[in-house]
Amino acid sequence: MAVSRQKITVLGSTGSIGVSTLDVISIHQDRYQVYALTANSRVSELQRQCEKFHPEIAVVGTAAAAAVLERNLRAKGIQTQVLYGRSSLMAAAASSQSDAVMCAIVGAAGLEPALAVIKAGKKLMLANKEALVMSGHLFIEAVHRYGATLLPIDSEHNAIFQCLPRAGRYSSHLQGVSKILLTASGGPFLHRPVEMLEHVTPEEAIAHPKWVMGRKISVDSATMMNKGLEVIEAHWLFGIPAGQIEVVIHPQSVIHSMVSYIDGSILAQMGNPDMRIPIAHALAYPDRISSGASPLDLTALGTLQFEEPDFNRFPGIRLAYEALEAGGSAPTILNAANEVAVQAFLDRRIGFRQIETLVERTMEKVAVVQGISDIGSILSEDHKARAVAEGFIA
Ligand code: NAD
Ligand code: MG
């Protein structure tokens, strides 16, 4: 008897998370089929994915890229419909044809597609943390209003989700929870003398000791702004006040985060640092499927270490707590300034330490707006902050 397979859309399929998602799907072609794949510019990678997964739809950034992809696919007898541009991306996200969508676009560009998934009331697997950080309560309110299912892909948040009491997930009544312990590897510069950090190059910054990831998140991990963004992400995902979210440095990256309960119990989720684990969890939830990741060998690992983060070395974490404290558009400003700063660093227009300086100065200069009730206003605050950050660079 033919069993109906779930149709999955992957937004940002050519990125690090997109590729890992297709890797998990490829092990379970009896359960899942690919409905749509989207990419910005890496057309030859997208073409290989279409040849393997035969999606119904593929979306790229430009008409020129679409023409190349369509010609190459037809030459191989593949009938995938090739579309391009923002409105096609939004349509692919919202399509009633798919059962679940992986949001793996990097940065603010992923916000509107993620909201389109939410408005369609779908299952949304969220890797794109910037979307949630910049829009906070509006994003979560939309999830509730449209009855969407939100599953976190960020390894820490996926771990927290697994360790929280099931009944309380996504509510502010997490019975018995005293604290979230958000673990951080500390990135490549955990113990490098602070005075040496200004000489860090983009190549060094994107060489993460534990995870292979896209360039933006790799730089965020090196500055530890990534952990700052994750504090904000955890606050919105689980309705937990900032004061109950604590960052713990754990260089081995096998505990992906913990939940501390009032009776003294601490629950941790462990595994090798491999994003296919949270991806498989979210794809199959509440079932379990194999992810392709190798199981963790505890005795080979031997030791687990923990230390306190140094907010002077890594001001990004402090700035994120300050943004949560300030509320309103402050996290939007933080995220926008950081995206501009990271890109400027990768383009060698500013130094490594100037990333944080630029974020801090932008946060000081742009006035925080409270009580925003629509996404258009979020986007205009985002643009305002980007312009100010660009002004500082110039
Ligand atoms: P990546 O740079 O490897 O991939 C980004 C993807 O987004 C690509 O497919 C690209 O084509 C697409 N994209 C970029 N700009 C776009 C635009 N303007 N319009 C449409 N598509 C666009 O990034 P990644 O490392 O896979 O990260 C993706 C997201 O997941 C980020 O938000 C990141 O913070 C988050 N995340 C990643 C990891 C990881 O291990 N890589 C872990 C946790 C969270
Ligand atoms: Mg993470």
Alpha-carbon dihedral 30, 36, 42, 46, rounded to 10 degrees: 40
Residue 239 C-alpha to ligand 1 middle, in angstroms?
25
Q: What pLDDT does 284 receive?
A: 98
Cβ neighbours for 191, distance < 8 A, ≥ 6 positions apart: none
Q: What pLDDT does 209 receive?
A: 79
CATH number given to 327-394: 1.10.1740.10
pLDDT at 2 over 60: no
Closest approach atom of ligand 1 to CA 275: 40
Listed by start position, the domains of the chain span: 6-152, 154-314, 327-394
- Tokens standing for residue 394: 């110039």
Whole-angstrom Cα distance, residue 118 to residue 234? 19
Phi then psi dihedrals of residue 6, to 5 deg: -75, 140
pLDDT at 375 over 60: yes
Neighbours of ion ligand 2 (CB under 5 A): 154-156
Residue 105 C-alpha to ligand 1 middle, in angstroms?
4
- List ligand 1's pocket residues with C-beta within 6 A: 12-18, 39-40, 42, 104-106, 109, 127-130, 154, 211, 213-217, 275
pLDDT at 1 over 80: no
Please answer whether residues 159 and 259 qualify as being in contact, where contact means their C-beta atoms are separated by less than 8 angstroms: no
Mean pLDDT of the chain: 96
The CATH architecture that domain 6-152 belongs to is 3-Layer(aba) Sandwich (3.40)
Residue 106 C-alpha to ligand 1 middle, in angstroms?
3
Q: In what order do the strands lie in the sheet with 177-184?
A: 245-249, 177-184, 255-261, 266-270
Place of tokens 């660079």: 393
pLDDT at 14 over 60: yes
Closest approach atom of ligand 1 to CA 18: 26
pLDDT at 168 over 90: no
Residue 17 C-alpha to ligand 2 middle, in angstroms?
12
Residue 186 C-alpha to ligand 2 middle, in angstroms?
11
Q: What pLDDT does 172 receive?
A: 57
Which residue's CA is minimally distant from atom 16 of ligand 1?
Answer: 40
Mutation pick for ligand 1 pocket among 38, 101, 106 (CB with most ligand atoms within 8 Å): 106
Q: What pLDDT does 174 receive?
A: 80
Q: For the ranges 10-14, 188-192, 339-343, which has the lowest average pLDDT? A: 188-192
**Residue 128, CA atoms < 13 Å, CB-side half-sphere:** 31
Which tens digits make up the pLDDT trace of 278-331? 999 999 999 999 999 999 999 999 999 999 999 888 999 999 999 999 999 999
Closest approach atom of ligand 1 to CA 16: 26
* CB-neighbour burial class of residue 373 (10 A; exposed 0-12, middle 13-18, buried 19+): exposed
Q: Mean pLDDT across the stretch 247-276?
A: 97
Q: What pLDDT does 208 receive?
A: 80
pLDDT at 20 over 90: yes
Neighbour count for residue 71 (Cβ, 10 Å): 10
